[in-house]
A and B are shown apart, each in its own frame.
Chain A
């Protein structure tokens, strides 16, 4: 089925509830080829051209189509709009994947290492889900954490992102020069209007984590009225703060009885030996420090 509009797609999905919607297919077809998935039918979303672009709405918001490809998001005009998302899209894999993989697919797959997810979490973006009963808006974080999951028959149509007109950074640690999955990633956006720093850490837990206390603290350290300067020591401290909040304490991991403090609500790849958690903490700290440093440069 190849619907041309979102409404048609919703109808098609309602007509064949077992069908699986497919956009870029970079995750789905991999699973099909590996024999893990054998969908009885597919609803191709590639012909819905309205979802392949974006529009502006009042109140400084961009509404992005779920069918935007990573390659499109990596282009300079988009980068001028939402630089963090562009950064994430550019690192999201080899060119073949970026040419077909879409923003909506990245959200729907909700891979822990999905590159756009921490950026959307930091931007506090919301998605529009359209189903037979109409449309509703859900914050990305609620969708990802399962607080408000997608219902049967719903399609992810739009992603509502605030335009902040300030530096945004996305950094990921991969250990190699070629494209790779993130071992840890950090998205950081500045919101000068609210004098806020928002940060999200990806790939260390099943969903992006927000170190809220670290954000609140560091925003008080920034000279918002001047050249947005910051004490280098505060940068380092911010990194440690973020890492401490997002990666469970190695000591606590070594002692299974102890509670894991901070936002470490997921088992994370750090569920292994304490040394691995120690390294992950260090990596996240370096990424967060560099991200804030770049954003304020």
Chain B
């Protein structure tokens, strides 16, 4: 099939046709699309070219993001492009020391510079109950992190003061001119030493200790394997760095234009930090460049707002790359010690683990990441006895926080490495040992929670295994073979070994341990146009596209407009943990169904039947008996209908002091096969191919799912081989894109999707599961397994360094 090159509308012809979802979309699309579709498909390629591609429509089809074209053309206004008349530029002074006492801050030199309008420090923020400047501590769970450091700095790059000036260079110079006298303290950078070190913060050094006791502690297996695993510090490294604009309001409040992914949460916390009522702070989400973690730290937003309030003028701040590396939270570096017991057939008997997460200087979401790490410490396997002790501790390292698959990723690398070790010890195929232990619906997780959602672990492994392997270079001597080391690199075919590794993993979705998940959405239909008002931020995951599809599906309207997000709308919660499809998507669906009821009821009443007997399909309202057939557009003419609905998934409970409890709403699974080539003399690794099978519940937009999987795999490959934000004695070594190596197109493997298993999760909205995190969780483990297979080296550390892959 030759796909017509219709790039402007980005129609489904660009993708492979036999996707079940896109086939359905095609059918609907043909009906709703232009009537010019040729009656004779056999009319040949010419006719096909001439026919305009029907617009994809409804759930299961693959429309492109509405902002795809502006983003590709470079005309999309990002947060860094914001502008206001008469604006000032902000700059932040950061601590050069990982741990120090602030003796004094003298801003007089900075204020004396021409063009400087304000310098703010912790003293400008509301003081604590004792009347001392505390820098307005904040945090998503525990408020322990000051906006601007007061008294003590606890990590390098912690903001100490901020400046507003009429030119960005002046602002930077002025920030540098703020004289801060420090009394340097000994930093604690080894998480293992944090337990016994003096408290780095009044709250102590232990964020959380989570013991998990499941089964019989005395159970012993015939075979025992042990391992110690280490995961480095990955950074979300958003290409669009933190940027925003704050505008003071006449009522003494402030309006923040930022690329937040949690508008209401950020608004509430920012208001609290500023000592304002929440309704005097308005947050407008604008120009989100994409996110795989929390977009930005609150300190940035509050500082911006404070400068605007202090100067009475709009203030803009756009962080440079180094600033950006200091500003946002990173992935938790982890140390994991494991002992797996199995019987002689390879059935797992007991898993013992100690997990230590380095939370950095402030709490952020460490306790949540720790819960995931402990709960998924045994992986998607049936294990009758599990004993885990997990700790998250405070150090003077850069703070760790939320990043796709937090907690679950670190554990996945460790338990999958252990399974490979066990397979080698027993002489069993790595795939086979996973199949023997695979979890299924109804099995218990180590937290005592039964997996009630579909858990097609075995089917995922089968799908991955059934996919043919990529050809070996010897089979295709004519094609150019990209060696490890890249084109024109030092690769030598004689020293290249190929390795194949398998991994399967799981990740939870939505907030855990009793987090109240709720979202509100409004759907309004006015004539033929529908509007969705929902404060769920589309950070690249595709919520706006999905909301459009949902409304199209329920109401049969083609033209759906998604309103931009601000905090005047009801809250929809953060864009994280794969929750927006379920929670906000569910709210949009409910609201749309209410509108549909309003639409159908009078029609049904006219015909003397109940509205349940009417259906909307193919743009027509039809009755069960076929008597009625009215185009939706006709029914909607002149009408204005709207409804607001809320979606709140079933509640969860916190894990108790034995790590037991129904803490998770649902879990998603993913299986992967990685094929790598390793230059065993130089230790260069190239991931040739990654084959993925994922449990998606229901593919609502297959192409968007593929994009999510490719993104997750790329991020996982980055962590597995390249990305590590190194810190020496708490100081970042490589806060630049020269030093912090992001995967480029050449480092990225061919990603093949073996299967998107559509076993619907009955309690989830649409039966769909979150798709973004699972591939990122599993890919590092799969790549590590493949490197292990190629080299025979143990590979116990991520990222894999060249010296770990040299034979």
Contact = CB atoms under 8 A, between A and B. Distances in A.
B486 A174 contact: yes
Nearest to A172: B490
A279 interface: yes
A183 B485 CA distance: 12
Given A179-B744, A282-B806, A290-B490, A174 B681 contact: no
A172 B489 contact: yes
8 contacts: A171-B489, A171-B490, A173-B684, A175-B683, A175-B685, A175-B802, A178-B486, A282-B806
A59 B256 CA distance: 69
A283 B802 CA distance: 10
* 4 cross-chain pairs, A with B, having the tightest CB-CB distances, nearest first: A178-B744, A171-B490, A178-B746, A175-B802
A15 interface: no
Contact of A177 (B485, B492, B682): B485
Contacts of B801: 175
A279 B803 contact: yes
Contact of A178 (B172, B320, B745): B745
B339 interface: no
B488 interface: yes
Interface residues of A, number: 26
A181 B683 CA distance: 15
B7 interface: no
Interface in B725-769: 736, 738, 741, 743-747
Interface string B716-732: 00000110000000000
Nearest to B322: A34
Contact of B484 (A94, A177, A180): A177
B743 A178 contact: yes
Nearest to A185: B490
A151 interface: no
A179 B485 contact: no
B482 interface: yes
A34 B659 CA distance: 47
B686 interface: yes
Given A35-B172, A91-B489, A279-B803, A174 B684 contact: yes
Interface in B769-807: 801-803, 806
Given A176-B722, A181-B738, A286 B681 contact: yes
Contacts, number: 79
Interface of A: 33-35, 87, 90-91, 94, 171-181, 183, 279, 282-283, 286-287, 290, 293
A177 B803 contact: no
A283 B681 CA distance: 7
A81 B526 CA distance: 70
B487 interface: yes
B320 A174 contact: no
A176 B320 contact: no
Nearest to B168: A35
B489 A178 contact: no
A287 B489 CA distance: 10
B490 A176 contact: no
B802 A180 contact: no
Interface string B369-390: 0000000000000000000000
A177 B491 CA distance: 10
Interface in B344-373: none
Contact of B490 (A33, A34, A90, A287): A287
A173 B681 CA distance: 10
Contacts of B485: 173-174, 176-177
Contacts of A293: 492
Contact of B806 (A35, A174, A179, A279): A279
Contact of B741 (A91, A180, A282): A180
Contacts of A35: 172, 320
A180 B684 CA distance: 12
B746 A179 contact: yes
Contacts of A33: 320
Nearest to B172: A35
B480 to A, nearest CB: 13
A34 B591 CA distance: 49
A84 to B, nearest CB: 12
Contacts of A283: 682, 802
Contacts of B806: 279, 282
B499 to A, nearest CB: 15
Contacts of B745: 178
A87 B492 CA distance: 15
The winner among A90, A172, A178 for most chain B CB atoms within 10 A is: A178
Given A183-B802, A279-B806, A176 B684 contact: yes
B769 to A, nearest CB: 32
A176 B490 CA distance: 11
Contacts of A171: 489-490
A287 B491 CA distance: 9
A90 B488 CA distance: 7
B488 A91 contact: yes
B322 A176 contact: no
B95 to A, nearest CB: 17
